[in-house]
Structure 1
Amino acid sequence: MVDMEAGGVERKRYYVSVQAGQILEDPQAAAYELEVSLSEEEHIKLRELFDELSSMDEAEMFHFSHSPFGSASDGEINGGYDDLIQQIYQKLHEHGTETTKRHIESMQLL
């Protein structure tokens, strides 16, 4: 589905699974939790946040498997992860349907 903003910006409907790190165009393709309407630029930014989150997960696994007593504390690693999750949910709330916004608000993350 394609929507147009007042400024002529084209927006598409996407279906998002934060847990799986997926942004889907087809709601039948996989399970999703949230529905948003994004411009191409917003879609790219959200994808970048998910990629960063995925990279952080990989770095955390590498860090703890090779250096359980490494220099970064659990708090520092979790703080970065929490910041990214917060940014992702903020974007989803900004561009979400009313149902999506209510769901995110009920999670009390923002």
Structure 2
Amino acid sequence: MTESKRTYYVGIASGEISTSSTDSPWDFQIEATNDEIVKLREVFDQNYSTDWQAFFRAHVPYLQYHYDRPNDAYDKNLQLSYKLIHELGNEETKAHIEKMGILDWKYEDVEE
């Protein structure tokens, strides 16, 4: 039995996924199953974690910032977020993400 898809509204900066378009600001509309939402939520949670790692790392003055692993991980997770939203998005969402050019970034080890 296939799981039915529902409409969700996603806020990238806040990491919010909502079924209501009026509860909070949102960036993209998607159609997803519960399993797909769980996967997107895991990616958002990882973004949150790597964002905190980068914050704490920024307060260590003797480490050169441009060799920082949390920044790379955050960028890769952000790209994965956009990739998943693109796959699940409506036509307007897909067109907007394609126009952004974020899917053109080259990270060989970006995994779903």
- Paired residue total: 103
Q: Distance in 1 between matches of 2:95 and 2:68?
A: 29
Give the Cα separation in 2 of the matches to 1:68 and 1:24. 39
Residue matched to 1:55: 49
TM normalised by structure 2 equals: 0.83
* Alignment TM-score, normalising by the size of structure 1: 0.85
* Counterpart position of 1:96: 89
Please tell me the root mean square deviation across aligned C-alpha atoms, in Å.
1.7
Instruction: Give 2:85's aligned amino acid.
Output: L
Quote the residue 1:19 is aligned against: 13
Given the alignment of the two structures, is residue 35 of structure 1 paired with residue 32 of structure 2, yes or no? no
Match of 2:106 in 1: none
Q: Which ranges of structure 2 fall in alignment gaps of 5 or more residues?
A: 104-112
- Runs ≥4 residues deviating over 6 A: none
Structure 1 or 2: larger strand share?
1
Do the aligned partners of residues 30 and 74 (structure 1) sit closer, same or farther apart at CA in structure 2, a change above 3 Å counting? farther
What is the percentage of aligned positions where both structures have the same residue?
A: 31
